[in-house]
């Protein structure tokens, strides 16, 4: 487990730099403890149940390594009820982006936090509309390296922002953590956020 910084108030059961940065943006210092669990969907498991189960399993798997409250999270891109996971390669990513182009899809992000109140969780759904994307754009996007390891094969906080016409819901949830809801869970578990912290001069 690595600590960043030493004054950590939360254990983050994820190696995602996006989730670490989102927590830092609300003043939460974390100890990073990535966990490895089976992320295969269960038979007849709906997307909301799927991401919520994974978030809880990650939080519980990470908790024994730390005396701190532990946060687990999972994000899924859903199109027509089907979960689109991380691309297995260039062609897989191209097929996913082509499917998402010119239409609406949903991004589900679940968060679970262990602590004095047991395991608290929430799942947030954000609707995302993408413009039409040409095959050349999809090929060029793959070359950036950004689609690799991203649910649905894109990162809204990166180059793919130019593909997104609009969203309805939480932008930070699409990035990796719904900050409004996450802060509420952390407060219930006694984890301090930005109160009393000074913003460094820019």
Cβ proximity of 39 and 97 under 8 Å: no
User: How many distinct structural domains can be found in the chain?
Assistant: 1
Which domain does 151 fall in, by range? 2-188
pLDDT number for residue 194: 82
- Tell me if 174 sits within 8 A of 167, measured CB to CB: yes
74 is catalytic: yes
In a domain, 194, yes or no: no
DSSP string, 147-185: TTT-GGG--TTTGGGGGEEEEES-HHHHHT--HHHHHHH
pLDDT computed for residue 198 by the predictor: 61
Active-site annotation holder among 44, 74, 121, 136:
74
- Count other C-beta atoms under 10 Å from residue 8's C-beta: 18
Q: Taking each helix axis from N to C terminus, what angle separates 179-188 and 17-25, rounded to the nearest 10 degrees?
A: 70
CA-nearest of 201, 200, 188, 144 to 24 is 200
Cis preceding linkage at 5, omega within 30: yes
Among residues 76, 53, 73, 34, the alpha carbon closest in space to that of 185 is found at 73
* Closest C-alpha among 157, 115, 162 to residue 19: 157
Q: Is residue 77 part of a domain?
A: yes
In a domain, 197, yes or no: no
Q: What is the mean pLDDT of each run of 10 residues along the chain (202 residues)?
A: 66 94 95 92 94 97 92 96 92 96 97 97 98 97 94 95 97 97 97 71 58
Strands 164-168 and 118-130: antiparallel
198 is a domain residue? no
| Residue 103 belongs to a domain | yes
Q: What pLDDT does 202 receive? A: 58
Asked if residue 202 belongs to a domain, the reply is no
- Domain of residue 33, CATH code: 3.90.950.10
Q: Is 76 inside any structural domain? A: yes
In the prediction, which pLDDT does 2 show? 47
pLDDT for res 199: 57
193 domain residue, yes or no: no
């Amino acid at each position: 487990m690595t600590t960043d910084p030493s004054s950590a108030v939360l254990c983050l059961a994820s190696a995602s730099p996006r989730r670490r940065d989102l927590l830092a943006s609300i003043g939460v210092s974390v100890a990073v403890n990535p966990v490895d669990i089976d992320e295969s969907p269960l038979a007849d498991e709906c997307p909301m149940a799927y991401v919520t189960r994974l978030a809880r399993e990650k939080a519980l798997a990470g908790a024994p390594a730390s005396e701190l409250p532990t946060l687990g999270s999972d994000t899924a891109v859903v199109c027509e009820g089907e979960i689109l996971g991380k691309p297995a390669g260039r062609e897989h990513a191209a097929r996913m982006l082509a499917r998402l182009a010119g239409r609406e899809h949903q991004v589900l992000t679940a968060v679970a936090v262990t602590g004095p109140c047991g395991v608290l969780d929430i799942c947030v759904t954000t609707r995302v509309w993408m413009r039409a994307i040409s095959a050349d754009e999809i090929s060029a996007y793959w070359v950036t390296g950004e689609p690799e390891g991203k649910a649905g094969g894109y990162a809204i906080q990166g180059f793919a922002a130019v593909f997104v016409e609009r969203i309805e819901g939480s932008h930070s949830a699409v990035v990796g953590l719904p900050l409004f809801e996450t802060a509420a869970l952390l407060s219930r578990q006694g984890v301090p956020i930005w109160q009393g912290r000074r913003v460094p001069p820019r």
